[in-house]
Amino acid sequence: MRNLVLVILAAALGWSAYWYLGVNNRETALTNWFDEREQAGWVAQSTVNLRGYPNRYDAIIEGIELADPITGWAWYAPRFELLQMSYQRNHFIALWPETQTVKTPYERITINSDDMRASVVFHDETELSRATLSAKSLNLHSTAGWGATTQEFVLALRETDGVENSYDLGLNANELTPSNTIMRHLDHAGILPKTFQTFRMDASATFSDKLSQASFESNTAKLQSVKLNDIHIAWGDLALRATGNISLDTEGYPTGKLTIRATNWEQMLDIAIGSGAVRESEASAIRTALKIFSAMSGNRNELEIPLNFKDRQTNLGPISIGDAPRIKFP
């Protein structure tokens, strides 16, 4: 019995020493990360505390202010939790507060949510393998005048099998409701429902580098191409689906083709014209071309159209309909 007690005490002391060593290492790493951001010219303020003995490392970070003066992006949150099981070094759980703020070079976005969390798995604690972000009662409000709510939001990412630096992406926003400002902008007549019945995406994206802590900090993982397996949006009597492949040049302009399938397309076009997405000067030519495509499909309310992106222009079949959108991230 005495030997058994000694073994148990030795095991407990050994585990405690292992846990405290892990806590010190993680606290040092987090503190150094914020210090390095400050040395790089960022605003980087926070208070870091760790707890969770005996089986977890729970990093509680309070009073977060992170701002990169070069890109103009910033994040402010009263509290952020980063949880890790002591025996699973490559798996993290992140928990966000009910309210946080993201600042871009153009706007400030307030994010309110219930139970926003992420599960993130790394290969070696740095290179991303897979991740899932979810939130309930998500509400976005921007100083630029837009906003949206969704009852449940899920964004998932995982490495694409057999393709280097490529990741599968899935997004689903349940009961997505744009703000009244957006609705008035899109639906002047007020005849469409306030909520999208379906808003989901299945895609894959290829980057110039692996997604990792190093590529994030140095901004080396540039988006190079996107494959849309399916985008499905249903809004009242309107339905839109899209598939295709596009590549981005160094300035973020796309080259490639998207195939769009639309139901009640004339109403969609009216919305695009009213919102300014389609210029009035080009509306007549676009409407004529779309009528030709819908006549070919055999159903005047439905059409399937190819959008081609080349030389920084967007073409509807052989007709140029304007400049190609620029897809650029900091």
Query: What radius of gyration, in Å, describes the C-alpha atoms of the chain?
Result: 25
List all residues 6 or more positions away from 137 whose beta carbon is below 8 Å from its beta carbon: 112, 113, 114, 149, 151
List all residues 6 or more positions away from 62 whose beta carbon is below 8 Å from its beta carbon: 46, 47, 49, 78, 79, 80
Distance, in Å, from the CA atom of 15 to the CA atom of 7, rounded to the nearest integer, reads 12
Residue type, 279: R
Distance, in Å, from the CA atom of 21 to the CA atom of 124, rounded to the nearest integer, reads 19
Strand, helix or coil for residue 58: strand
**CB neighbour burial string for 178-197, b if at least 16 within 10 angstroms, e if fewer:** bbeeeeebebeeeebeebbe
CA proximity to 330, closest of 167, 108, 104, 171? 104
Beta-bridged to residue 92, according to DSSP, are 120
Exposure of 266 by Cβ count < 10 A (0-12 exposed, 13-18 middle, 19+ buried)?
A: middle
Distance, in Å, from the CA atom of 294 to the CA atom of 238, rounded to the nearest integer, reads 15
In this prediction the pTM is 0.83
Helix (H) or strand (E) holding 2: helix 2-39
Average pLDDT by stretches of 10, the chain with 330 residues: 46 47 68 81 83 76 91 93 81 94 94 95 85 96 92 95 93 92 76 89 93 79 92 91 93 91 86 77 80 76 87 82 77
- State residue 308's pLDDT score: 92
CA 35-38-44 angle, 5° bins? 85
CB atoms within 10 A of CB 301: 13
- State residue 17's pLDDT score: 52
